[in-house]
Structure 1
């Protein structure tokens, strides 16, 4: 039996100049975990509109369960306007309000979380008190909590992020998010290793991953550290690259791989995703 994983948060459409693709960090992670063979659920919410129907169909095509995806009678399915900038970096206009701002707590979520091997959540879904309240309920029962920091001003609140850090087992963030979190603690950023060590000292987390773009990624726990170089590829866009990195790392760790093996696999998957358009390209998971 493969482990059960649960992702919580936004489920939406990324609108590119040449069309729309399914997205949202939690759904991206759920997709890649499902590709790795996990029993992968997403707790989210869509509208009753055609975009919401299409997202549910997409999950079914990917072989992911839809029974934890709620339907909102009032709010529309989420959309994000994605624009490419310098060095293939993307900027995002996250439309508000959206159905995923109103993810409701349901009793059926509790036994699912209790038997999960990993519960993945981000900070973006906390911009509304309804989804935030549901997340807080779920964090009380999830055994292994993975925080994918996704700071997107003005849709993020550093005080909420700090609060979530006290309920986290593994945190993944990029350099700018690490810098912002340290600044909120009155500390300066002097590199991923020193920054990760500061996080381990300030918060009761067990593991820290800092993604470094073209420079790779850094991992630290209380016993070891590991610097993983990036794969050399021709980048098409960076949408979802961090999500695929986290999913690749988690999938390998849950399947018994070492930290070093999991980081190498995550770098390989993330690099592949940057050569494709969108966050959820098709691929044979055996390649990583």
Structure 2
């Protein structure tokens, strides 16, 4: 079985459901409260594992109840946790999430131990990274760790996939090592400098990002679907229409699903369609990792 290594964050999500998101300085009454394992890296690792890929996770948690619970969760999913280390000086990461009746969310993250994931931690996982089919990363960990992992993967011919969230400036050196980058609309606008108002501008933005050295670009456009620049060929894969309950974790599942499909030999178009099904299932449920579907659920999804 071909392997995916995920390098990224691990958090505990504390979620409050309310009719709408509060304005600055406003207090409103909420509804249900949920506490779930989350973090973009952890979500993506759970997605790749649950969708059938052999998965190694490289991360850092605190030496606390949240960290220990997270590792137990990963092990139950069949994820290789040998490189999930514990930091004695920082707590595990926490995300405070508000979700409104339309499924839109607002998130604040306290990174904790995620901010202590360093290049030396990445070096310990060098053999696993260099023997993977895909390295999947996000930006909730320090940039030196992202760059160190990308360098190891690129030097070994491993495909580097980056979900650039939360968005920040990316070096030309990092961009040149990417097989695939998967920004959402806002992230693509910041990376390209082009306002996306339709498919024509989405293509311009994708080509502007690709011109920086990235081989493939997928811009996720929410309910409109995903705009793909696949080795120079541009096309749209439409999203599946479902009733949205909570969008938390949808993007992470999308990324994990793409990678899971690619390691199976699916084309980019097929992988994006598979990922669109997986993320459509996610938004019909509350929570991040708790909403990620199994491979059987995605294979039997019909809409």
SS at match of 2:218: strand
1:70-81 mapped onto 2 (5 Å cutoff): 70-81=85-96
Which of residues 171, 186, 208 is equivalent to 2:217?
208
For the Cα contact (< 8 Å) 1:123–1:161, is it kept in 2?
no
SS at match of 1:141: helix
SS at match of 1:88: coil
For the Cα contact (< 8 Å) 2:48–2:260, is it kept in 1?
yes
- Higher alpha-carbon deviation: 225-234 or 276-285: 276-285
Gap regions ≥5 residues in structure 2: 17-32
Which structure has the higher relative contact order (CA within 8 Å, separation 6+)? 2
Say if 1:230 and 1:43 are closer, same or farther in 2 by CA, change over 3 A. same
- Shift, 1:271, TM fit: 0.2
For the Cα contact (< 8 Å) 1:182–1:189, is it kept in 2?
no
SS at match of 1:19: strand
Which of residues 162, 172, 193 is equivalent to 2:203?
193
For the Cα contact (< 8 Å) 1:178–1:195, is it kept in 2?
yes
- Shift, 1:34, TM fit: 0.6
Structure 1 segments, 4+ long, off by >3 Å, are 160-164, 187-190
The number of equivalent residue pairs is: 272
Residue of structure 2 equivalent to 1:53: 68
Say if 1:180 and 1:86 are closer, same or farther in 2 by CA, change over 3 A. farther
Residue of structure 2 equivalent to 1:136: 147
Partner deviation per Cα, 1:50-91 (whole Å, 9 max, x = no partner)? 111111111111111211100001100000100124742211
Residue of structure 2 equivalent to 1:250: 259
**Aligned partners of 2:93, 2:233: CA distance in 1, in Å?**
40
1:72-111 mapped onto 2 (5 Å cutoff): 72-85=87-100, 87-96=102-111, 98-104=112-118, 105-106=120-121, 107-111=123-127
1:61-72 mapped onto 2 (5 Å cutoff): 61-72=76-87
**Aligned partners of 1:150, 1:134: CA distance in 2, in Å?**
15
For the Cα contact (< 8 Å) 2:217–2:228, is it kept in 1?
yes
**Aligned partners of 1:236, 1:273: CA distance in 2, in Å?**
9
- Shift, 1:178, TM fit: 0.6
Question: What TM-score comes out, normalization by structure 2 length?
Answer: 0.84
Say if 1:189 and 1:218 are closer, same or farther in 2 by CA, change over 3 A. closer
For the Cα contact (< 8 Å) 2:51–2:293, is it kept in 1?
no
For the Cα contact (< 8 Å) 1:220–1:226, is it kept in 2?
yes
**Aligned partners of 1:263, 1:135: CA distance in 2, in Å?**
24
The CA RMSD measured in Å over matched residues stands at 1.8
